[in-house]
Amino acid sequence: MRILHTSDWHLGRSFHRESLKDAQEAFVDHLVDTVRAERVDCVLVSGDVYDRALPSVDAVRLCSDALARLKALTRVVLIAGNHDSASRLGWGARLLDDAGVHVRTEFARVGEPVLVGDAAIYGIPYLEPEFARHEWELDERSHAAVLAEAMRRVRADADARGPDVRSVVLAHAFVTGGEASDSERDISVGGSAHVPASVFDGVDYAALGHLHGKWAVTDRVRYSGSPLAYSFSEEHHVKGSWLVDLRADGVHAEFAEAPVPRRLGRIRGRLDDLLRQARFEEFEDRWLQITLTDARRPSGAMERLRRRFPHALVLGYEPEGGGADAPRGWSERIREKSELDIAGDFVAEVSGAPASADERALLHEAFEHCRQKESLA
């Protein structure tokens, strides 16, 4: 049994206003070629098919084309991620089942597998804790609690099928120990975001989505990562998909690297050095994040830099010797903060006092309402 594990396509996304349409089309071509060449029995797409709940027309067209081409070669199972609209992505799911494309976005179908060869494949869509715990009448409000309940339902069905049937799970979650990048949307508002890898104990393979870097949590629990880099923090990521063989002696996985549309780079220094020094030649054809360190901010810096680095996209300024008291940019100040903390800082900024417990509770309720509304859109 051979599966191809991919996730986090984020169709419709751009990279700092640079269109990724051609790059995403090239990835779909690569995916189809890999499925054909490797004789894949099933493709797993572990969430975040689209970049937003209301995808663009081009993104929907590309998704439709990808699924049609894959369906002609193999079976496909995909789930909704936290970026997807479950109701929109899941429209027509029961009709698509008959075509060999199995879309899982509903809580009610968590314990209902797709049978491919000798494997039962269970799709667990992204579960918003506040909504899922009410649906399943759970006391605890956390990602770990709702995913544990989903896995309880999966195991109940798998146990009834006996040891001769392999069990494969798709899930979209943040497993403890994983390394996030700047391009994943925070999911911590709905209770604690992290879940232990042990929640997947007992299944033959868990195909995870959400984190954008490939990562083998264990031999049987893996993230494929996104097929393209969506932030400069992914500069050193190797992108692609896992080719996984379920064998009698265990799981064997190889990584199939995806095409790279343009390499990324992050450089820093004084403007004159960046423009003149030969050591920066290797960055001339990359998408760049540049940080200037001149004592005084140079005028017209981006225009001058683009004469040498035509694909420079982001320009920052951190003067040498600025020290800890130097003013930081907005993105730097909020990098390690949750949405709730950012909103609390805003309250403190406009009122002159930290948000009270009642104000933070109200902000929390507002975030929960928005997240639930988005997940049901």
Confidence of residue 189 (pLDDT cuts 50, 70, 90): very low
CATH code: domain 2-257 is: 3.60.21.10
Question: pLDDT per residue over 121-152, tens digit each?
Answer: 999 999 988 888 888 888 888 888 999 999 99
Question: pLDDT per residue over 61-109, tens digit each?
Answer: 999 999 999 999 999 999 999 999 999 999 999 899 999 999 999 988 8
Confidence of residue 325 (pLDDT cuts 50, 70, 90): very low
Strand order in the sheet with 119-124: 114-116, 119-124, 166-172, 205-209, 221-223, 215-216
Strand pairing class (215-216; 205-209): unpaired
* In the predicted structure, residue 269 carries a pLDDT above the cut 60: yes
Domain ranges of the chain: 2-257, 264-327, 333-375
Q: What are the backbone angles phi and psi of residue 323, rounded to the nearest 5°?
A: 70, -175
